[in-house]
Chains A and B, each alone.
Chain A
C-alpha cells in the first residue's frame, strides 16, 4: 500500500441536508481542492461550497456576437461585393432579409461554443482515467448518495487529520482513494494493433474500389448514351467508315471568296486596299489588332510583347521593311502567314484584315510622326 499514490479521502452521506452541512464545514475549514459529488445538482450547494458564479455566459456572449457579425459580413460581402445582384428590387445590402440567417448563425455559434467550452475547457473532459472512476465512491454518488472528496493536492491535506475531519462530519462511511496503478492501455496490445492493421487494409481496399471502380459505374445516364453518331466517331453504316460526312465535292463556304495569291511567299502582285481609313474602320482595326496581333507584335507594333526574348523575336512593324510594304502585302501576310506566323484567314474576316492594315498604317505614322503631324494633333 505504501507505494500507492494517494488521491484523496472521501466521505459518503445519504441525504441532501447532511451533505450541505458537511460542505459548509469543509469550506469553512479552508480547504481549496475539494468537491462534492451528487447524482444531480443540489440546490444551494454552490453557496455552501462558496463557489463563484459561473462565467460560462461570457463565452456565449463573445461567440454569439461574433456569429452575428460574421454572418452579416459574409452576406454583405457575397451579396453586395463579390457577386452583386438585384433581387426583388431590394438593395444589395438588405438588412431585413439578412436577419433570419444572422439569427440562426448567432444561435449555432453561441450554443455550440458554450457546450464545447464547458466540456473541454471548464471541465477538462473527456477524461476517463480520473482516480475517482471505478471506485465504490463513484458508484454510490452516481446513484443515490452524496459524497465529499478532499484531494491530496490540497495544501491543508494530511491523510490522518483530514480523515479525522471527515469522520467528525458523521458520514455513512469514509474511504481513502489512491491513484490507479500504472494504467494498462489495451490499445497497445498486439491483438488490437493487428485489428487496426486489418481495418486499415479493408478501408484502403474499400476506398480504392469506391473511388476507382464504383464511382465509374454510371447509375443514371441522363440521355448521355444515345443511338446517334457523334462527331469524330466511326460508323459502319457508311462505306468510308466515317461518322461525319464530308461536304459535297465543290462545296464552298457561305461568303467564300478565293484569294488569288494563296500559298505564295513573295507574290509578284497584291490586292489593293478597298477600304478608306474612316473612324469606324480604324476602330474596328484597333479592336482586331489588339485581339489578334498585339499578343506577338505588341500593343503599338514594336514587337515588344511578352514573347520578346524567346526565339524568334516577333518583328517590329516600324522597320523600314515594314513601312515600305504595300497595303496589299500586309494583307497578304495576315492572310497566308509568314515564317512562324500562321495564317489568320480563318479568324479574321476580309474586312477586318483590311481594317487592321489601316490601323497598322496609323501606328506606323504615329511612331514616325513629322512636325506637321504633331501640329495637326495639337490643333485638334
Chain B
C-alpha cells in the first residue's frame, strides 16, 4: 500500500454511515455473548482465582510465603506495581495527550485505552498494599486526624505515591465516565430492553445531546485532558522517586523520572496493541480500529523504545563518568553478574526487537507486531525486575549480599494480576462501548459541516 502523507488517512475506513457505526459498536452489548467470550472469561477467571488463592494463603500465613527477604525486600510486589502503573500510562497518553495534539486517529482507541488505564491501576494498587504485609492497616496512609495525634510524612516519596496513584485512578475514572455519558444516552435511546434502559438512563444522567451542553462538555474535556497530561507524567515520575530519592547505587539517579515515563508509555502502548489486535478481530471493528492506527502505535513503541535504550546507555555512561565505585560495580554486576540473564532479556526485548518496526511491512503485519509487542511487555517487566532486584541484592556492604528467588506464591499473585486485568477487560468489552460512539461519529466522513457555506469563518 502506497501512502500519501500529505493527506490524512480516514479515521473510519469504508465510509460507514453514522447509524452503521453505532450499530457496529453497540453490537456486543445488544447480543448474547458467544462461546469464545466464555472461553476467554474462563481462562482469565482461572488466572484470577489462582492469584486470589495465593493471596488468601499469604494473608493467612503471612508474607513469609514470598521470596522477599533481606537484602531484596522489595522484590516481586514492587516490580509488579511499577509494571502495572506503567501499563496504565498509555491510556491517559492516548486519551489526553493525543487529544490535546489533535490526533484524530486516537478516537478509535481512546476509550479502550482509558479502560485499560483504570484496570491496570487497579492491578497496580493491590501490590503496595499487600507488600506492607498488613493490608488492613493501609488506612493509616491517609492523613486524617487520629487519636494518636500522628500525621503521615509528607516528605516521603512513599506518601507521594499514595497521593499520585489514587489521584491518577480517580481522575482517569472521572475522565472515562465523562466520555461515556453521551454514549450511555445513545444506548438508552436505542435499546429495546426495559432493564437495560433503566440502567442506561441512570448512567446517562438524562443527557439530551443538547448543543448548549456540548459547548461546556467540550470545554470540560479539554480541561480534563489538560490536567490529565501533567498528571500522567507526574505519576511515573513520583513512582521513580521511590527509587531515585534513596541512596542505593543503581537507583540514585536523576535520569529516572524521564526514563520511567518513557518506559511506561512504551510498555503501555505495547499492552494496548496486544489487546486491541484481539478486540478488533473478535468484535469486527477493523473499520474503526484500523491497521493505520496500529501502525501509528507501533511507531510510538519504536520511538519510546529508543528512549528507553538511550536511558540504559546513559545509566552506564554516568556510572563510569561519575567515578563512583559503587555505581560502577552495580552496573557491571547488572550486565555480567548473577542476574545478567534478566538484564539481557530486558535489553533484547526493549531495545533490539522493536527495531524491526523500522520496516513498514512489519509495522503493518498483525502477527509480526503481536510477537514484538508481547516481547516488549516481557522486556518491560524484566526492566523493573532488574532495577529492583539487581540494585538491592549487592549493595555497599558485601557481607550483606544475597540472592533473590521468587516462590510459587509470587508467581501466582503475578498471574492473578493478569487474570484480574483481562477479566475486567473482557467484561468491559461486553458491557460498555469499546469505542466512543459520539467521538467516532464526530470524526466520520461528512459528519462536520463543509467549510464552503461560511458558517464559521466569522
Contacts and interface: CB of A to CB of B under 8 A. Distances in A.
B185 A82 contact: no
A40 B189 contact: no
Given A47-B455, A111-B227, A38 B150 contact: no
A128 B201 CA distance: 7
B456 A103 contact: no
Contacts of A125: 205-207
Contacts of B217: 41, 118
B154 A101 contact: yes
B441 interface: yes
Contact of B163 (A83, A104, A127, A220): A104
Interface string B150-190: 11011111011001100100110011001001100110111
A139 interface: yes
B171 A127 contact: no
A35 B208 CA distance: 10
A166 interface: no
A115 B220 contact: yes
A143 B18 contact: yes
Contact of B211 (A41, A60, A78): A41
A100 B160 contact: yes
A42 B206 contact: no
Contact of B231 (A16, A42, A107): A107
A165 interface: no
Interface stretch (B260-268, B272-280, B394-402, B443-451): B443-451
A104 B169 CA distance: 11
Contacts of B224: 111, 114-115
Interface string B1-43: 0000000000000000111001000000000000000000000
B214 to A, nearest CB: 4
Given A40-B442, A40-B447, A111-B224, A45 B211 contact: yes
A44 B442 CA distance: 13
Contact of A115 (B22, B174, B448): B174
A23 B22 CA distance: 25
A65 interface: no
A108 B173 CA distance: 11
Contacts of B195: none
Given A56-B220, A75-B154, A127 B206 contact: yes
Contact of B219 (A15, A56, A105): A56
A123 B213 contact: yes
Interface residues of A, number: 72
A75 B154 CA distance: 7
A16 B60 CA distance: 63
B210 interface: yes
A118 B151 CA distance: 34
A245 interface: no
B149 A16 contact: no
A217 B170 CA distance: 34
Contacts of A336: none
What are the 3 tightest A-B residue pairs by CB atom distance, in nearest-first order?
A: A44-B456, A144-B18, A142-B189
Interface in A106-125: 107-108, 110-112, 114-115, 118-119, 122-123, 125
B212 interface: yes
A112 B171 CA distance: 7
How big is the B interface, by class?
Answer: 35 or more
13 contacts: A16-B448, A17-B450, A37-B208, A37-B210, A39-B186, A39-B441, A97-B154, A100-B157, A104-B167, A111-B171, A125-B206, A128-B206, A142-B189
Interface string A284-317: 0000000000000000000000000000000000
A101 B60 CA distance: 34
B190 A142 contact: yes
Given A47-B456, A83-B149, A97-B154, A141 B449 contact: no
B453 A20 contact: yes
Main secondary structure of the interface of B (DSSP, over half): helix
Given A104-B163, A143-B189, A119 B205 contact: yes
Nearest to B211: A36
Contacts of B143: 74, 78
Interface stretch (A86-94, A200-208, A359-367): A86-94
B292 interface: no
B208 A132 contact: yes
B100 to A, nearest CB: 15
Interface centre among B211, B218, B441 (most CB of A within 10 A): B211
B188 to A, nearest CB: 8
- Of residues A51, A74, A127, A128, which shows the largest number of chain B Cβ atoms within 10 Å of its Cβ? A128
A138 B208 contact: yes
Contacts of B167: 104-105, 107-108
B174 A143 contact: no
Contacts of B296: none
Contact of A39 (B60, B202, B209): B209
A51 B216 CA distance: 11
A57 B155 CA distance: 31
B223 interface: yes
Contacts of A12: none
A99 B333 CA distance: 35
A127 B449 CA distance: 30
Nearest to B238: A100
